[in-house]
Structure 1
Amino acid sequence: MHPLMLELLPWVRQGYCCSQLLLLLLLQAREEENPGLVRAMQGLCVGIGHADGPCGLLTGGACALGLLAGKGADDEEAQPLLEALLNDYAQWFRERTAAFGGGSCDTVAAGLAAERGEAGSGVAGRPDPAGCGELLAEAWEKLLELVQAYDLDITAHTGQA
């Protein structure tokens, strides 16, 4: 088990999904709380409500990067390289999950289970964030790598509470 999963397990047990977990990690790094944003991220869970939708690690990661580099107020501008930043993350995710045959939530969850030598993961057709933990940790590490490569300040506060 990736060491990051030890930190995430309490949140997983509390019912947060993959997209929410990435945002919770980012908010923790920023020493912020934003329950409204975390709640909104639940809309990305389980492939935007059905397992054939995109994996929350892709969409949640894009949202995390948007929080760091996007426009959020009339007097702000998005980081000029936001599109390239998002493209780099999406390309990494596509390459990482290519062997699974796609980037949908259920396809990724099944591919990760197969990598672990398991038949499947989750309950009642819902992928288990703990089962996706290795990829979640990789996604977080990729986000941190991109933050550094694009010279973003992960600790800059957005002014939201």
Structure 2
Amino acid sequence: MRDCSKECQRGAAPDRWLDGLDAMVAELHAGQRFCCSQTVLAIGMRRLGIDDPDLLRAMEGFCGGACDGACGALAGGAALMGLYLGKGTEREPRSETIRQYVKELTETFCAYWKGTTCESIVHGEAELRKRICPNVIAGAVEMVWSILGEHGLDLDRRRIDRMPRQ
């Protein structure tokens, strides 16, 4: 399904989750009819063992370029990075690196897909959207995991899982 598997992985070690990525995209995007942003986040949530429909509901605001045209898969990728690194409670510190990592994601995404908006990727063509969007979704997930992995994050645990309890 996806056509960016080698280029999207920026030299990261093999990841067993990528073996089932196309099937997860098909199940969530086509089967359960989640949009691009929801699908990217849902895949990350599965990996982290998170079951929270409210997070997926919140991602619907980024579907189909609804946020000033930004590709939902890219928005989902940024949200996925936030899920790994972001501040979620009063006691948690803000991530000092998330902006850098999201910038890396955006640059990698733009270089590969030649843009960051739905329009620049699928040019408003419904048939092209059906063919390309599953690849863009899988590519965004690969890019997120590659970037986080390159920076030494354990992709099977969130940052808060590693923080000492107070």
Q: Which TM-score tier does this pair reach, normalised by the shorter chain?
A: 0.7 to 0.9
Q: 2:27 — aligned with what?
A: 10
DSSP-derived class of the 1:132 partner: helix
| Deviations 1:63-94 (CA, angstroms, capped at 9, x unpaired) | 11011111111111133211111111111112
2:106 pairs with 1:90: yes
- Offset of residue 105 of structure 1: 1.3
- Offset of residue 155 of structure 1: 2.9
Provide the rounded CA distance (Å) in 2 between the counterparts of 1:57 and 1:71: 22
DSSP-derived class of the 2:126 partner: coil
2:54 pairs with 1:36: yes
Q: Tell me the TM-score normalized by structure 2.
A: 0.75
> Is contact 1:68-1:153 (8 Å) kept?
no
> Is contact 1:69-1:152 (8 Å) kept?
no
Q: 1:133 — aligned with what?
A: 134
Q: Tell me the TM-score normalized by structure 1.
A: 0.77
Mapping of residues 30-109 of structure 1, within 5 Å: 30-48=48-66, 53-98=69-114, 102-109=115-122
The higher relative CO (CA closer than 8 Å, separation ≥ 6) is in: 2
DSSP-derived class of the 2:157 partner: coil
Provide the rounded CA distance (Å) in 2 between the counterparts of 1:150 and 1:71: 18
Q: Which runs of 5+ in 2 are unaligned?
A: 3-19, 162-166
How many percent identity over aligned positions? Answer: 28
Residues matched between the structures, number: 142
The structure that is helix-richer by fraction is 2
Q: 1:121 — aligned with what?
A: 126
Q: What root-mean-square deviation, in Å, do the aligned CA atoms of Structure 1 and Structure 2 show? A: 2.4
DSSP-derived class of the 1:131 partner: helix
Provide the rounded CA distance (Å) in 2 between the counterparts of 1:21 and 1:59: 11
Provide the rounded CA distance (Å) in 1 between the counterparts of 2:25 and 2:138: 10
DSSP-derived class of the 2:132 partner: coil
Provide the rounded CA distance (Å) in 2 between the counterparts of 1:24 and 1:122: 24
> Is contact 2:113-2:121 (8 Å) kept?
yes
Provide the rounded CA distance (Å) in 2 between the counterparts of 1:75 and 1:122: 47
